[in-house]
């Protein structure tokens, strides 16, 4: 229950979010880049029940080795919009 309440709260407070937002077909998605712009890209995608912040320590380590790291919140997690669609492969694939 705590995770659900936290995610519901942060989804209404985009000004608290580090990083950026992009409007996609399924809703607004929160994302962030860290590391040098010219570094090799690593994309970190969280599992269900988590959000992008779970990668903070790994992202910091990867950037220390010169990698560019992209983290983002899946729909219905973290700072990204909740969606009325079913949480399934067709929803998350284009994200």
DSSP 17-80: -SSEEEEETTEEEEEEEES-TTSPEEEEE--TT--GGGGHHHHHHHHHTT-EEEEEPPTTSTTS
Mean pLDDT throughout 11-33? 80
CA distance 55 to 12: 22
52: pLDDT strictly greater than 60:
yes
Say what the pTM is. 0.72
pLDDT band at 92 (very low <50, low <70, confident <90, very high): low
């Amino acid at each position: 229950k705590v995770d659900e309440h936290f995610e519901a709260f942060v989804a209404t407070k985009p000004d608290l979010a580090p990083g950026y937002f992009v409007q996609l077909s399924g809703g607004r998605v929160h994302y962030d880049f860290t590391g040098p712009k010219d570094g090799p890209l690593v994309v970190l995608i969280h599992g269900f029940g988590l959000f992008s912040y779970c990668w903070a320590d790994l992202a910091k380590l990867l950037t220390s080795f010169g990698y560019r790291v992209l983290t983002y919140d899946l729909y219905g997690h973290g700072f990204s919009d909740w969606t009325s669609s079913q949480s399934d492969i067709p929803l998350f694939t284009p994200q």
